[in-house]
Amino acid sequence: MAFVRDLLRDPKARDAADIAHQVVAVASSSSKDKADKFITANGIPAPCAAYATYEELVADPNVDVVYVATPHSHHFQNVMLVLEAGKNVLCEKAFTVNAAQTKILCETARKKNLFLMEAVWTRYFPLSVQVRQLIQNGEIGEVLRTTADTSFGDDVEERWGTTHRMVNPDLAGGCLLDLGIYSLTWVFQTLYHTLPKDQRKAPTVVSQMTPYHATGADESTTILLNFPTSTPSNGPHPKHSHGVAMTNLRVAADPDEKGTTGANIRIQGTKGEIQVFGNPFRPMRYRIIPKKGAGEVRDVEFPIPSEGHGMFWEADEVARCLRDGKLESEGLPWEESIVIMEVMDEVRKQGGLTYPQKIESTEYPLQL
């Protein structure tokens, strides 16, 4: 819902007059009536078709790109359906359940000459773009450590129970794939993506995972990543850099939701650090802290324009890529999505977390 409402906001309000979005079709897996109600509830202007099946939607000749926002458990099957129909895809994070599925999606898109992107919206916030540029420009020296925490202090039994997608293994539930991906996003976009493509190297991983007693999905996961590189120079004597990615359903990174505990993200370099405030998936402020005597502390605010949620920036990226004939986004290329999925595979292996064979499968089509 937030994504569609952001699509309908005037692009000029965010200096994006070079592109435009139109919602031309909505599909529900259960009924056309549900799709019709979604169109009405969100004020989607006509013409907008309502479909009772995904198969009907991907057959619509007016559809250029499909946004897939089903649970991660269904991403592989749903995206394959769209690609096989010859449509471009923006697919919600986590891309799939495992790296093998992601590799097949990317290869299918390549063979069919179709655009495919993982919808990690945080990557496309102007704040994130600017932080990456600061790192690449050497603002805080050689970056050697990033810590990121995406945690919410909930009564898990009361709020999530056993069937909600957050904790349901049949829907690839657990905090790693749903929330931990944001902590990993900050680690990767600061320690990996900021290097030239030919210098990016996958990290080694050590992790700890706590299962939720009621379902077995993870309720807490902490990951230590060791990159054999540093950024931005990676030389002349390359140093390792460390990422610490945390996620938890029972303890909160920001308990009073007022920022009292400080920054959820710290990016530490040899000349200072950058702190990012707010939820890691929707940050709106960062602070640069130079080393003592090297300059003044600076706070930079990034309010979201036009009372939006912030999802329009990833949609703008998709539109520009389609306009320019690109199959993947430079902000999150396929190769990087695959490496991040491989990290999560390893974390699940170390934690003993597996999902039902059907949703781990690379067979297509498969009825879930």
Place 4 in a pLDDT band, splitting at 50, 70 and 90.
very high
Is it the case that residue 78 has pLDDT exceeding 90? yes
State pLDDT tens for residues 199-230: 999 999 999 999 999 999 999 999 999 999 99
- List beta partners, residue 221: 209, 247
Is it the case that residue 287 has pLDDT exceeding 90? yes
Q: Which sequence spans correspond to the domains of the chain?
A: 2-121+326-334+355-360, 123-305
State pLDDT tens for residues 79-105: 999 999 999 999 999 999 999 999 999
The pLDDT mean for the chain works out to 97
Place 147 in a pLDDT band, splitting at 50, 70 and 90.
very high
Place 239 in a pLDDT band, splitting at 50, 70 and 90.
confident
Which runs of E-coded beta strand occur in 28-105?
Answer: 49-51, 65-68, 88-92
State pLDDT tens for residues 98-133: 999 999 999 999 999 999 999 999 999 999 999 999
Q: Are 185 and 122 in contact (CB under 8 A)?
A: yes
What's the burial of 23, exposed, middle or buried (CB within 10 Å: 0-12/13-18/19+)?
middle
Q: Are 244 and 267 in contact (CB under 8 A)?
A: no
What would the mean pLDDT of 250-279 be, rounded to a whole number?
A: 95
Return d(Cα 66, Cα 58) in angstroms, integer: 8
Q: Which residues are catalytic?
A: 93
- List beta partners, residue 268: 145, 273
On the question of a cis peptide bond just before residue 94, with omega within 30 degrees of 0, the verdict is yes
Within 10 angstroms of residue 144's Cβ, the number of other Cβ atoms is 18
What would the mean pLDDT of 13-36 be, rounded to a whole number?
A: 96
Predicted confidence at residue 236, as pLDDT, reads 76
Predicted confidence at residue 274, as pLDDT, reads 98
Return d(Cα 212, Cα 265) in angstroms, integer: 26
Predicted confidence at residue 297, as pLDDT, reads 98
Give the architecture-level CATH label for domain 123-305: 2-Layer Sandwich (3.30)
Identify which of 219, 113, 208 has the alpha carbon closest to the alpha carbon of residue 166: 219
The reported pTM is 0.97
Is it the case that residue 237 has pLDDT exceeding 90? no
Predicted confidence at residue 235, as pLDDT, reads 79
Decide if domain 2-121+326-334+355-360 falls under CATH 1.20.120.330. no
- Residue ranges of the alpha helices (H) in 88-240? 99-112, 126-136, 156-159, 175, 181-191
State pLDDT tens for residues 295-352: 999 999 999 999 999 999 999 999 999 999 999 999 999 999 999 999 999 999 999 9
Is it the case that residue 251 has pLDDT exceeding 90? yes
What would the mean pLDDT of 135-147 be, rounded to a whole number?
A: 97
